[in-house]
C-alpha cells in the first residue's frame, strides 16, 4: 500500500471531514478543522495515497502535546497507518521539545488501546462519562518523551 505521511494542507480538509463523519459520533466540522490548519499550536498529519486514508491531530501547549483525534478509514485499517501516524506525531512532538504526548480513548475501543500500549503509552487516568453518543468513560493514555 502506497501512502505518505504529510502535514495537512487546505486541500486535505474535505477528506478529513469525511473521515470524521465516518469514524466519530461527534465529528469536527469543516470550519473547526480549517481553524486548526491556521493554529500555530496545532500539527495535523495526513496519510495520503490516492485520497486521505487517515489523519492525526495534535495540539501543543507549554511543552505538552495532546492528540485531538486519530482516524483511519475502514477500508484502510489493519495496514499500519494508525501506527505510522502515531509514531510521526510522537517524533514531531519530541522534536518540538514536548515532555509528553497524551490522549483519551473510549474504554471499549480495545484495538486502539492495544495500539497505544504497544507504542509505549501508559494508562494514567480515567475521565468519567467523557464521551457521548453513547456515554462512556475515556481512558487517558500518555507517552513520556523526556524519560
Tens of pLDDT, residue by residue, the chain (147 residues):
799 999 999 999 999 999 999 998 889 999 999 999 999 999 999 999 989 999 999 999 999 999 999 999 999 999 999 999 999 999 999 999 999 999 999 999 999 999 999 999 999 999 999 988 889 999 999 999 986
- The residue assigned the cell 498529519 is 45
pTM: 0.91
Cβ contact 139:123 at 8 Å = yes
CA 121 to CA 69: how far, in whole Å?
Answer: 16
CA 23 to CA 46: how far, in whole Å?
Answer: 15
Q: Which residues are catalytic?
A: 104, 116
pLDDT the model gives residue 93: 97
Cβ contact 127:135 at 8 Å = no
Backbone angles phi, psi at 116, to 5 degrees: -60, -45
Amino acid at each position: 500500500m502506497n501512502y505518505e505521511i504529510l502535514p495537512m494542507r487546505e486541500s486535505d480538509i474535505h477528506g478529513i471531514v469525511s473521515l470524521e463523519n465516518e469514524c466519530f459520533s461527534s465529528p469536527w466540522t469543516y470550519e473547526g478543522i480549517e481553524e486548526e490548519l491556521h493554529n500555530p499550536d496545532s500539527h495535523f498529519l495526513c496519510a495520503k495515497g490516492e485520497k486521505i486514508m487517515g489523519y492525526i491531530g495534535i495540539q501543543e501547549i507549554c511543552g505538552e502535546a495532546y492528540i485531538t483525534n486519530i482516524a483511519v478509514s475502514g477500508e484502510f485499517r489493519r495496514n499500519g497507518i494508525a501506527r505510522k501516524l502515531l509514531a510521526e506525531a510522537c517524533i514531531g512532538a519530541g522534536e518540538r521539545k514536548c515532555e509528553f504526548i497524551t490522549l483519551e480513548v473510549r474504554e471499549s475501543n480495545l484495538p486502539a488501546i492495544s495500539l497505544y500500549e504497544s507504542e509505549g503509552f501508559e494508562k494514567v487516568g480515567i475521565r468519567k462519562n467523557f464521551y457521548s453518543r453513547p456515554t462512556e468513560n475515556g481512558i487517558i493514555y500518555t507517552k513520556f518523551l523526556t524519560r
